[in-house]
Amino acid sequence: MREQVLEKASGEPLQAANRELTYSHAIREALQLAMRRDERVFMLGEDIGVYGGAFGVSDGLIEEFGAERVRDTPISEAVIAGAAIGAAVTGMRPVAEIQFMDFITLSMEQLVLQGAKMRFMFGGKASVPMVLRTPAGSGTGAAAQHSESLEAWFVHVPGLKVVMPSTPYDAKGLLLAAIEDDNPVIFVEHKLLYRTKGHVPEGYYTVPLSQSEVKREGRDVTVVATSIMVPRALEAADLLAQEGIELEVVDPRTLKPYDADTVTRSVCKTGRVLIVHEAPKTAGFGAEVAAEIVAGEAFDYLDAPIRRLAGLDVPIPYNRELERTAVPQVADIVREARALARGEY
């Protein structure tokens, strides 16, 4: 591994061995390494320069790379996406940021009808190596137009890849893999994860796309969780372990193309599965996970109905308690997983 001296925004040097970084810093470090490594990589988005990004992710990057490569844009989500596509198809490797996933609705035409399809429409004779980073999710009190979890929309579009890391380690490795990838990748970050900490090795490494990971092994119930629901599921697993119930927590990490095999293997072992995500349940990604389980090898190993624990079919409300109620919490996961383990479903 190359020796890298990395600095936090405050300027204090980071410990080399076993160091911990926040999810937000891990993403920043990935951006930093990618831009150092490859001149074609640049960033564009709203308030990512001196402001440092709405959530501080790109803090300090403009100082190192300049306004040329850390480009503040006007509030123009369609052209942020479109400019990334146009630059990507002509030799650059842009990393665009859409400030809130909610605003991606304003980029949809460019992402879905242009970027996703361009390579295919042109008979495979062009490629669009770009990443679109965007923070999703509720829990900040920002209410219905700043809390969306729209990942399933993009999973449904051929030509796009969708990545959703849950840990600082994965965030860095997956972002570097996404930047290396020759396809448009929607990289969904979670606002509540930005401050979470975890081990992040120094230097350049990638976590391969399309590889689900078992975050915790257990024999009783498989919990398939994405993004913020992964730490919640792990917390639930700790609590249930005291009752003698062992959860196996699987994090798909890449939703498209989705590695169903890891979940299949896990379900073959446990026979019981709980799928947890923040986005509303109806036609959410969990439906795809469930369908892959029943349509494949794992079907014959199911020993209980597949349970889905997901956001309610409701816009994210403002009131703190209502907001918590709208999406799965640790106690909900504990309750559902326990009932599954006890054969109550």
Q: Which residues are annotated as catalytic?
A: 77, 146
Compute the least distance from the CB of residue 320 to another protein, in Å: 35
C-beta of 3 vs 300, nearer to another protein: 300
Compute the least distance from the CB of residue 290 to another protein, in Å: 13
Q: Which of 2, 11, 12, 124 binds another protein (CB under 8 A)?
A: 124
Give the separation between CA 267 and CA 101, rounded to whole angstroms: 32
Cα→Cα distances 8→5, 27, 44, 47, Å: 10, 12, 21, 19
Give residues 9-48 in contact with another protein (rule: CB under 8 A): 42, 44
Cα→Cα distances 204→5, 30, 81, Å: 12, 8, 26
Compute the least distance from the CB of residue 78 to another protein, in Å: 5
88 binding another protein? (CB under 8 A): yes
Our CA dihedral for 56, 169, 136, 330, rounded to 10 degrees, sits at -120
Compute the least distance from the CB of residue 106 to another protein, in Å: 8
Q: Which of 76, 105, 145, 282 binds another protein (CB under 8 A)?
A: 76
344 binding another protein? (CB under 8 A): yes
Q: How many residues interact with another protein (rule CB under 8 A)? A: 60
Q: Which of 74, 242, 244, 321 binds another protein (CB under 8 A)?
A: 74
C-beta of 86 vs 139, nearer to another protein: 86
Q: Which of 21, 61, 70, 84 binds another protein (CB under 8 A)?
A: 84
C-beta of 105 vs 319, nearer to another protein: 105
87 binding another protein? (CB under 8 A): yes
Length of the chain: 345
Compute the least distance from the CB of residue 192 to another protein, in Å: 31
302 binding another protein? (CB under 8 A): yes
Give residues 258-277 in contact with another protein (rule: CB under 8 A): 264-265, 268-269, 271
Task: Give the range of 26-34, 68-76, 97-105, 225-233 binding another protein by CB under 8 A.
Answer: 68-76
C-beta of 11 vs 123, nearer to another protein: 123
Q: Which residues bind another protein (CB under 8 A)?
A: 42, 44, 68, 71, 73-74, 76-79, 81-92, 94, 109-110, 113-114, 118-127, 129, 158-159, 161, 181-183, 257, 264-265, 268-269, 271, 297, 299-304, 343-345
